A and B are shown apart, each in its own frame.
Chain A
Amino acid sequence: MHDVVRRSALPGRSQSSHDKMARGLGYFSLALGIAELVAPGAICRAAGVKGLETVVRGYGAREIATGIAILGSHDPEPWIWTRVAGDLADIATVATGVQQDNQSKGRSTLALATLAAVTLIDLACANGLNAEKGNRKTAIRDYSRRSGFPKGLQAASGAARDFQIPDDMRTPELLRPWDRGGGKA
């Protein structure tokens, strides 16, 4: 059969692979955010930067908020873009905080590479979600012949005028200013 619907969803699911990816990123945000909040020192050491514990705590709060938003919203796309922006802030922070000793440099390089990879995943997810929204313009259909009245609109107009409106849904005669010239029948 001629297939015109965008088949972005996984078989038997309402969600696409990008929706699933977004959820994964949501949980990732939560986990990372909690780590940044409770152990900013360890995170700084792993990234080879110093003295940025307060900044990292702030980023932790950001990650948690983004994670909650991704998991709770029915359209995660804007929040994935928020993650992309956050990735860039992370990269900038590590890049400016690099220490001069070799061990730290090595760690920072690894951290930057990891962040770059995560950014690419976020970008792929955000772009994928965006593409799935589809191009409405190409999908507009013409329903201008679907009146729903087999005998035509003319015949239908007022065809049920004799329908007895139940008492509980009738407006009392006195309150019908629009009807019989002010209420007096």
Chain B
Amino acid sequence: MKALVWHGTTDIRCDSVPDPSIEHERDAIIKVTSCAICGSDLHLYDHFMPGMKSGDVMGHETMGEIVEVGPAARKSLKVGDRVVIPFTIICGECEQCRRGNFSVCETTNRNKDLADKAFGHTTAGLFGYTHLTGGYPGGQAEYLRVPFADATHIKVPDGIPDEKLLFLSDIFPTGWQAAVQCDIQPTDTVAIWGCGPVGQMTIRSAVLLGARQVIAIDRLPERLSMAKAGGAIMINFEEENVVERLNELTGGKGPEKCIDAVGLEAHATGSVDSMYDRAKQAMMLETDRPHVLREMMYVCRPAGILSIPGVYGGLLDKIPLGAVMNKGLTIRTGQTHVNRWTDDLLNRVLENQIDPSFVITHTEPLERGPEMYKTFRDKQDGCIKVVLKPGMNGGLHA
């Protein structure tokens, strides 16, 4: 089959690889109908996340049709079922899964010892996302093997286009959890850094959950225009001072809730701390660029909440923990517990409360995936979210 394969820094290719097959009785195989490129994939593409090997198949936002089911998965799945696959592989039985903390499932990471070393304790296995989280082949491919398939799936009804359902795999629940864990009150101002796909979903979630005021921060005009369409006030961090503007919009008190939907590749125009981060990153003395984190910790209202869906990989420098401690801030973060939210979110899609397809700007055949990584990373052509379709001809834009 065809699949997008990681070969090295910024080197992704559409290669022919062996078809997956059932390896374990809880497995299922799906024929992929749609998959997407995520901001998290860019951290692998740019090679800021350690633990990739040449030959790894990329992708963790995937949906399709079940074509084969292992004997132990037959109680919940059958050939022909239409499913969205969450990016977190879950057993559904361990202590964490039973609490709904799916992204830290204790069973599914087959490289537990690596993760134990890196993080202290293992987290869940993830599709197409480094050997620290199991090294499972991803879903930017024609077929995907789903381990623990009896638990690791979201069943979706027929008769609705893929585009409305695909993002249940990751960015929609990610934006939702980012907002939910802020415990939004009707009086709250919620500030959201980053208007990429995750930021866009977070804005919609914060609006649905009833924030008084939602503020979105980015520098790309097309992304800011989409944020505004979703009901956010825009701040362009290249043109305005973010901290000053946020204080202005909150009567000098700062936003109650701050969300980092940017992660470890944050930009900062000409600020001292960003030059420091870039230099240290180049010398491999620091793995991440935490400019956004610092800004949030500084501007957040005392007793407020910092929600961090943005991905970080390792060690961060110059984190103003003094501000966090003295202001009594709460930090909530994590990879998303996808299946904790998806039943409710699927209903919201079916009820037309939200249509997550608004974020798609490019639909392309799988073979063009590698080029689309570049287009998405470099924000060319107004690109915000890329959907790839195996077997499609030509391409569609915006």
Partner-B contacts on A (CB < 8 A): 1-9, 11-16, 19, 69, 71-74, 133-134, 136, 139-151, 153, 156-161, 163, 165-166, 168-171, 175-179
A107 vs B186: C-alpha distance when bound (angstroms): 79
A55 to B180 CA separation, bound complex (whole angstroms): 62
Instruction: Using known A-B contacts A153-B231, A160-B210, determine if residue A9 contacts B222 with beta carbons closer than 8 Å.
Output: no
CB pair B354–A13 under 8 Å, yes or no, is no
Contact A159 B208, CB 8 Å, known A5-B375, A148-B355, A169-B181: yes
Please measure, in the bound complex, the distance between the C-alpha atom of A5 and the C-alpha atom of B362, giving whole angstroms: 10
User: Which B residues lie within 8 Å of A71 (CB)?
Assistant: 9
Once the chains bind, are A160 and B378 in contact (CB under 8 Å)?
no
Contact A144 B225 (CB under 8 A): yes
Residues in A whose Cβ lies below 8 Å from that of B330: 171
With A13-B13, A69-B282 given, name 10 new contacts (CB 8 A): A72-B9, A133-B378, A136-B379, A139-B381, A148-B354, A148-B356, A149-B204, A149-B355, A158-B210, A161-B210
CB-based contact B353/A156 at 8 Å: yes
Could you mark each residue 356-374 of chain B with 1 if its beta carbon is under 8 Å from any beta carbon of chain A, else 0?
1011011000010011111
Q: Which residue of B lies closest to A155 (CB)?
A: B353
In the complex, whether B251 has a CB less than 8 A from a CB of chain A is no
List of A residues within 8 angstroms of B269 by Cβ: none
What A residues does B99 contact at CB under 8 A? 168
Which positions 191-243 of chain B face chain A at CB distance < 8 Å?
200, 204-205, 207-210, 221-223, 225-226, 228-231
Give the chain A neighbours of B256 by CB distance below 8 A. Answer: 178
Decide if A148 touches B13 in the complex (CB within 8 Å): no
A-B residue pairs in contact (CB < 8 Å), sample of 11? A8-B374, A13-B370, A74-B45, A136-B379, A142-B222, A143-B226, A148-B230, A149-B204, A151-B352, A169-B180, A178-B256
Interface of A is mostly: loop
Quote the shortest CB–CB distance from A25 to chain B (angstroms).
Answer: 15
The verdict on A143 contacting B374 (CB below 8 Å), with A74-B10, A153-B207, A163-B180 known, is no
A74-B46, A148-B356, A160-B353 known; A12+B228 contact, CB < 8 A = no
Q: From known contacts A5-B397, A148-B358, A156-B208, infer whether A12 and B14 are also in contact, taking CB-CB under 8 Å.
A: yes
Chain B residues positioned under 8 Å from A148 (CB to CB): 200, 204, 229-230, 354-356, 358-359
Is there an interface contact between B303 and A175, defined as CB atoms closer than 8 Å?
Answer: yes
- Mark contacts of B373-385 with chain A using CB atoms, 8 A cut-off: 1 yes-contact digit, 0 otherwise: 1110011111010
Compute how far the CA of A5 lies from the CA of B246 in the bound complex, rounded to whole angstroms. Answer: 36
Q: How many residues of B contact A (CB 8 A)?
A: 75
Q: A133 to chain B: which residues have CB within 8 Å?
A: 378
Q: B396 to A158, Cβ gap below 8 A?
A: no
Q: Which residues of A contact B231 (CB under 8 A)?
A: 147, 153, 156-157
Q: In the complex, which residues 314-365 of chain B have their Cβ closer than 8 Å to any Cβ of chain A?
A: 328, 330, 332, 340, 344, 348, 352-356, 358-359, 361-362
B:148-183 near A, CB below 8 Å: 180-181, 183
B174 → chain A closest CB, angstroms? 14
Q: Is the CB of B186 within 8 A of A161?
A: yes
Q: Are the CB atoms of B222 and A143 closer together than 8 Å?
A: yes
Q: Does B12 count as interface, using CB distance less than 8 angstroms?
A: yes
B301 / chain A contacts, CB cutoff of 8 Å: 178
Chain A residues within an 8 Å CB radius of B225: 142-144
Q: What residues of A have a CB within 8 angstroms of the CB of B11 in the complex?
A: 13-15, 19
Given A9-B370, A161-B186, does the pair A144, B208 have CB atoms closer than 8 Å? no
Complex CA distance for A175 and B374, rounded to whole angstroms: 45
The residue of chain B having its C-beta at the shortest distance from the C-beta of A160 within the complex is B208
CB of A137 to closest CB in B, whole Å:
10
* CB of A2 to closest CB in B, whole Å: 7
Q: Which of A14, A163, A177 contacts B344, CB < 8 Å? A: A163
